[in-house]
Copies of this chain bind each other. A is one copy, B any other.
């Protein structure tokens, strides 16, 4: 399969041919989201935002520019981001008095406002989100969707009365992301990043690493407990019930929309093109009439009847009765776009008032009665989602390999897999792992407790964590 043999080329061709992204925009790292891609994005955001609304988050929209003096307030944060921010320095012919940067993430845009809004414990918790583009000057080679200088995400920022409440919020965030990623049939590891790799300004970071056919992991979401770090820098305090003034405790989390699309393509699609989970497919069912001379009118009329019935059920259906392509060409065309269910309607179907259903994952055919169409479509939607998830889970399982020593670790990474190793938590050993294998420690699982049963793979002292090592985007 090209997907596993030549991921990069396969991936780029799907992005282009399925109308997801056009990477020919004349600025490096910036690209155009085309219609099919953008419609998928809108559906993913709808699922996420609905869940955020249900859990008490409120939408807002903050400016794209951040003044330099706000950006530099939290010292770790600026260290982490200053080398990769875009600077706006002029307007028209003038030099701006105050340099502005394009948000690489919105802590320093939001928190000066949080300081104005939060006065008392009654104002807490505050849970805000926005779905926007962010800007980072990546110096590594850019890759469409996976590593761009402008990428789309949803970011949520919360403020709480205590560390305990913030801890609970971290878990609520993990559950929200888990819920959305499961709706998309994705597979990933939920890892607590080692301290040297946490978000700049966080106490700790937890990340969702999705697998990729080339063995590199793709960080599709992150959740951070910020503690009081930003509260101190931005002076975000509240008056507690007892009259004392305290710093808020904050969390923030980011859902990487561009990278989620990348993961959907990378995990689910095949050599025929995209495969979309039914929940986010802009078109869920494509109807293709199989016409022969002499039966065209009847078959087309019957296809339209099928179309109307399905449409009335609120299913996103499209009837491709154009006569510029053969049925075979239409099959290929809609397979590339990943429509999860195809309906073929031929003369025999029409005579017997049946339809032929074909699912996009296994291309299995099923002939059903007209009256059962909607029931079987819904069943097939569930099957497609389930098959995608199972297949993806299976691949993730196969990608993870226990490394018993440095030789095997190096081989696992070279073979484009993910290594599972025991680590003592010392940074020197982490550096050796990177040096010797080319992979990075991505962290230990937080959804499952894994006890190290061997010593550290490097120093052979007692290991404290079972960690996952991989190359990353």
Contact = CB atoms under 8 A, between A and B. Distances in A.
A326 B94 CA distance: 54
A24 interface: yes
A115 to B, nearest CB: 10
A31 interface: yes
A233 B83 CA distance: 36
Interface in A87-115: 87-94, 98, 100, 102, 109, 112-113
A89 B90 contact: yes
Contact of A60 (B38, B62, B84, B92): B38
A137 interface: yes
B87 A88 contact: yes
A196 interface: no
Contact of A137 (B35, B59, B91): B91
B86 A91 contact: yes
B62 A64 contact: no
A27 interface: yes
Nearest to A98: B27
A367 interface: no
Identify the interface centre among A82, A135, A152: most chain B CB within 10 Å of its CB: A135
Contacts of A69: 26
Contacts of A292: none
24 contacts: A22-B113, A24-B113, A24-B116, A25-B112, A26-B67, A26-B112, A27-B67, A30-B65, A31-B63, A33-B61, A35-B60, A38-B60, A39-B59, A61-B152, A64-B102, A64-B133, A86-B88, A86-B90, A86-B100, A87-B88, A87-B90, A88-B102, A91-B137, A92-B137
Interface of A: 22, 24-27, 30-35, 38-39, 41-42, 58-67, 69-70, 82-94, 98, 100, 102, 109, 112-113, 116, 133, 135, 137, 139, 150, 152
Given A34-B60, A38-B59, A88-B88, 20 more contacts: A22-B113, A25-B63, A26-B67, A26-B69, A26-B70, A26-B112, A27-B63, A30-B63, A41-B61, A42-B59, A61-B152, A63-B150, A84-B91, A84-B92, A86-B88, A86-B91, A88-B89, A91-B137, A92-B139, A94-B137
